[in-house]
Amino acid sequence: MRVAKYYNNKDVRLEEMPVPKIGDGELLVKVVASGICGTDVLEWYRIKKAPLVLGHEIAGEIVEVGKGVDKFRIGDRVFVSHHVPCNACRYCLNDEHTICDMLRSTNFDPGGFSEYLRVPQINVDRGVFLIPDSVSFEDGTFIEPLACVHRAQRVARIRPDDTVMIIGSGISGLLHVALMKASNSGRVIATDIDDFRLKSAKEFGADEVINAKDDVAARLAEANEGRLADVVIICTGAVPAFKQAFQSVDRGGKVFFFASTDPDYDLPIPVYKMWKDGINIAVSYGAAPKDIAASIGMIRSRKIDVNKMITHRLKLEEAGLGFQHVANAKDSIKVIIEPHK
């Protein structure tokens, strides 16, 4: 089978690999569509494991079922979660599934930028979800990223009258905007340095947009009756965004890390301001199974029309071009790869 193997952001090669052989309790899935995630182009995160086949936002069809599998059959349309929690450790029992040791050690084989993938038994047991017939494979690529956003907003505990500022209007920022509007959760102000993305944020429901090159805190106060934001959600790893977040949060507010800096960078934290003004920090990584289920429900009900976020549909041999679109972050929102086109 053909795969798109990642060496670095500018070197993604079309190569051949054997179709994975499945064992008892496993599934073979034909990958119909696979989204390129912003984390796929974080070289500091990916390069240490290169070369490898990336891709975890997948939707596909079961083509082979291993002995002992009785929940699924050939022809089922599925989303497959690449990481799965144990559901039994102290973290899972405290609704912290995404820091479970099992979640951090599981994956499917080889990755979503391939024609087929093998789903290990543990993933079959707790990480395969049927895609409703009314949901296209394209839309199914949004199940995982929307689930991550759903978990983040659960953790953030946004109140109906909150003003929320989203820093970074790439795909994760836009999903935050769209989910907030679909949930009637507060007033949304989005920022970015790119006009295309600011326009997109407005189209997907932002009440106001601010160019991040401006004095963001001042512009925010002008747009919000003199107040800063109750919640600031950081959706970019750009270091200036973290400084802007602390400058833009109101007293009693919350700065929410949905993105991370490079692991070697230590972020200065304004401890005195936090102590004096009652500012909290919260974080969210990944999604729990209940967030995946909620994401499927939202996509099925069309509360969020994710299909409108797709800007590029590419063949497997064009995966390198797709990586460039996502890495350059200019005229793209969601880039999906269709391995069998």
For 147-283, give the CATH class. Answer: alpha beta
- Confidence check: pLDDT of 329 > 90: no
pLDDT band of 330, cuts 50, 70, 90: confident
- pLDDT at position 24 is 98
- Confidence check: pLDDT of 102 > 80: yes
- pLDDT at position 42 is 86
pLDDT band of 45, cuts 50, 70, 90: confident
Rounded CA-CA distance 158/177 in Å is 13
- pLDDT at position 275 is 97
For 2-131+305-338, give the CATH class. Answer: alpha beta
- pLDDT at position 122 is 97
- pLDDT at position 44 is 83
- pLDDT at position 312 is 97
Cβ proximity of 257 and 227 under 8 Å: no
Q: Where are the domains of the chain?
A: 2-131+305-338, 147-283
Average pLDDT of the chain is 96
Cβ proximity of 134 and 50 under 8 Å: no
pLDDT band of 331, cuts 50, 70, 90: confident
